[in-house]
Amino acid sequence: MPYTEVPGARVPIRMWTDPNTVEQQAMEQLHNVTTLPWVHGLAVMPDVHYGKGATVGSVIAMRDAVSPAAVGVDIGCGMTAVRTSLRAEDLPDDLRKLRSGLERAVPVGHAAHREPVDVRRLPGVRSRDWDAFWARFDTLAEGVRDRRERAACQIGTLGGGNHFLEVCLDDDGAVWVVLHSGSRNIGNELAKYHIERARELPHNQDLPDRDLAVFVAGTPEMAAYRRDLFWAQEYARRNREVMMGLACGVLREQFPGVEFPEWISCHHNYVAEETYDGVDVLVTRKGAIRAGRGDLGIIPGSMATGTYIVRGLGNPASYHSASHGAGRRMSRTRARKTFTQADLVEQTRGVECRKDLGVVDEIPAAYKDINEVIAAQTDLVEVVTHLRQVVCVKG
């Protein structure tokens, strides 16, 4: 669908959904963002909903400034998907052993590895220069430098909430491994540190929302944030890569000879330096993926509605972006009050996964319809294939 331009804002708000369906809190957040003099433009994805710090599903292009709260506390959160050589018929009828193997290999929730994963012995990990990457830890904000051991043990861990590790089947019956995670506790701590620093700066004292506090180009504060931000984004990418290596190891054990011919990875909470209309901008994608022409992306639904692999069409009106998922249609608190364990069991029928009250806030009905979200952005991405999960691991 073509976008709708919301009137009354200082800069255009281009929205790939009906503005009348967006909750008032989210609309207020979006309008507040446009009051900042550094904002060049704002694109809103069809999975839009109210979020802490900034609206989830928003793409903010700023000149010479960035808002750390708009990036959010899970810096570099994103997706990785790997197509395997396995077919649907290769999987057993009972998938509990596969799920258990994945849960043993990849710690979930607040758990971490007892010792850092030895990436040199992990097939499939493509990143190099690990020593140089960790050497940069000592240049991060002083308040987090004693967290190195914990950060090292959390590389290759999933976390909780809406993060997941899945085994899926595509339209042609090929088996995929898909995961969603971010920068774990170290990204959270770096984000909180810089959000508080930004709020204290004199130029941020009269904002309509404290979460709009920005760092401005050419200042020591901006330089420090960019250093920590880009390191955390790389940490998140490497975290997903190690997790995927561990998950693929489980498949190798249970299905000898399996191969992994295609890897796709993308951030959806991050900042990138890009140019539009001849203007250099810092693009903050909070719950949005890059969808430049030819870019492969991953857009998940919920625990039982599958995931779409998409290819970007390079639409500059959205700053080459697309949605990052289905998007919540109700808060976690409301979902817990609305749905029962029996509802969760029914809505996840056919998926080997947790079916207890601890994950009822992730029930599919708490999310928007992923098919409608995909249909609303046909000018942003084209569908490559749809994945249907048969195993879902959550923290």
In the predicted model, what is the mean pLDDT of residues 331-354?
A: 97
In the predicted model, what is the mean pLDDT of residues 377-387?
A: 98
The residue extents of the domains of the chain are 4-329+367-394
pLDDT at 274: 98
The answer to whether the annotation marks 267 as part of a ligand binding site is: no
pLDDT at 101 over 80: yes
Count, residues in the chain: 395
What superfamily does domain 4-329+367-394 belong to in CATH?
tRNA-splicing ligase RtcB (3.90.1860.10)
Tens digit of each residue's pLDDT (9 = 90 or more) over 287-297: 999 999 999 99
Catalytic residue among 40, 267, 324, 386: 324
Distances (CA, A) of 257 to 86, 243, 364: 9, 20, 34
The answer to whether the annotation marks 40 as part of a ligand binding site is: no
Cα–Cα–Cα angle for 74, 295, 377, rounded to 5 degrees: 80
pLDDT at 178 over 80: yes
pLDDT at 1 over 80: no
Output the furthest CA–CA distance in the chain (Å, rounded): 63
- How sure is the predictor about 53, in pLDDT bands with cuts at 50, 70 and 90? confident
The answer to whether the annotation marks 51 as part of a ligand binding site is: no
In the predicted model, what is the mean pLDDT of residues 309-335?
A: 97
Tens digit of each residue's pLDDT (9 = 90 or more) over 215-247: 999 999 999 999 999 999 999 999 999 999 999
In the chain, the amino acid numbered 212 is L
The answer to whether the annotation marks 19 as part of a ligand binding site is: no
The answer to whether the annotation marks 249 as part of a ligand binding site is: no
Residue 90, CB-side half-sphere exposure with 13 Å CA sphere: 19
The answer to whether the annotation marks 110 as part of a ligand binding site is: no
pLDDT at 120: 86
Sequence-separated (6 or more) residues with CB below 8 Å from residue 325: 47, 162, 268, 287, 299, 300, 301, 367, 370, 373
SS3 215: strand
Least confident of 5-14, 75-84, 176-185: 5-14
Active site residue 40: no
pTM for the whole structure = 0.95
In the predicted model, what is the mean pLDDT of residues 96-113?
A: 97
Give DSSP secondary structure letters for 233-268: HHHHHHHHHHHHHHHHHHHHHHSTT----EEEEEES
Q: Are 294 and 314 in contact (CB under 8 A)?
A: yes
